[in-house]
Amino acid sequence: MDWARQIHIKTPAEIAIMREAGRVNAEVLGTVKALLKPGVSTADLNAAAEEVLRKHNCFSPFKGYGHPPFPTSITVSINRELVHGIPKKDRKLRDGDIVSIDCGTVLDGYVADSALSAGVGEISPKARALLEVTEGALHAGIQMMRVGNRTGDVGAAIQQYVESRGYHVTREYTGHGVGRQMHEGPQVPNYGKPGTGLPLKQGMTIALEPMVLVGTHATRVLPDQWTVVSADGSLTAHFEHSVAVTAGDPLILTVP
Ligand code: MG
Ligand code: MG
């Protein structure tokens, strides 16, 4: 990734469009989450997501992204798969899996990006705890998205939340500015030092996305050149919201 990417400060009108894109993205994720049952294929999940996007005359920026071009509108990553799993007809969900779904929505040229992780059927207490820690870390980061703070304050809050509970945050994949493009500046890692990094300004829109691993922060990429897995095979989870910095409280764009 080219992280010298430009930061685009958004006007209230632009943020309003992103909020609408975020609503659609939340509907996609909610629809897919409701389908997480044993026997459902990850390609079925992608088809359901595309149906929601089409209904709103939207599309996902994931399809065709990168090299090799990503083939689908959502990513579906199961258990040891942290992010960027490719949906397939022959990949069926099983009881006890934890599944991370990531989607983007483009509406009127603006992008919203969010992700969630959830269980299939009965999941282990260990898996449930991982989901809770990862979602909690996202909200710890969101609370730092205020004028006067810096990107390092956000990363530090996420890292502290995760590591103080005995889990690990990824180093290779980060949060990012979002809006006119899926990936804009600034880069917002899931780790950091308070008081460092770029100052947050009103009108910045950033996708925060803690990616949390049970056993190690180390990852590797599978031969499909996309799927990122934990290096030790341990469970992983991923939650993400696109968030606007305002004059007051942070505004989460990717909720219903
Ligand atoms: Mg995402
Ligand atoms: Mg993202």
CATH of the domain at 237: 3.90.230.10
Expressed in angstroms and rounded, the spacing between residue 67 Cα and the centre of ligand 1 is: 17
Expressed in angstroms and rounded, the spacing between residue 92 Cα and the centre of ligand 2 is: 25
Q: Are 83 and 77 contacting, i.e. CB atoms less than 8 angstroms apart?
A: yes
Expressed in angstroms and rounded, the spacing between residue 214 Cα and the centre of ligand 1 is: 20
Expressed in angstroms and rounded, the spacing between residue 195 Cα and the centre of ligand 2 is: 23
Q: Which ligand is nearest to the CA of 114?
A: 1
Expressed in angstroms and rounded, the spacing between residue 184 Cα and the centre of ligand 2 is: 10
Number of domains into which the chain is organized: 1
Exposure b/e, 47-73, CB count within 10 A at least 16 = b: bbbbebbeebebbbbbbeeeeeebebb
State the 10-residue block means of pLDDT for the chain, 256 residues long.
75 98 98 98 98 98 96 98 98 98 98 98 98 98 98 98 98 97 96 97 98 98 98 98 98 98
The pLDDT score that the predictor gives to residue 124 is: 98
Range of 35's domain? 3-252
Token duo for residue 70: 């990503």
Overall pTM > 0.75: yes
Longest dimension (CA), the chain: 49
| Encoded amino acid at 108, one letter | D
Expressed in angstroms and rounded, the spacing between residue 22 Cα and the centre of ligand 2 is: 13
Neighbours of ion ligand 2 (CB under 5 A): 113, 207, 209
pLDDT tens readout for residues 68-97: 999 999 999 999 999 999 999 999 999 999
DSSP H or E stretch at residue 243: strand 241-244
Mean pLDDT of the chain: 97
The pLDDT score that the predictor gives to residue 5 is: 79
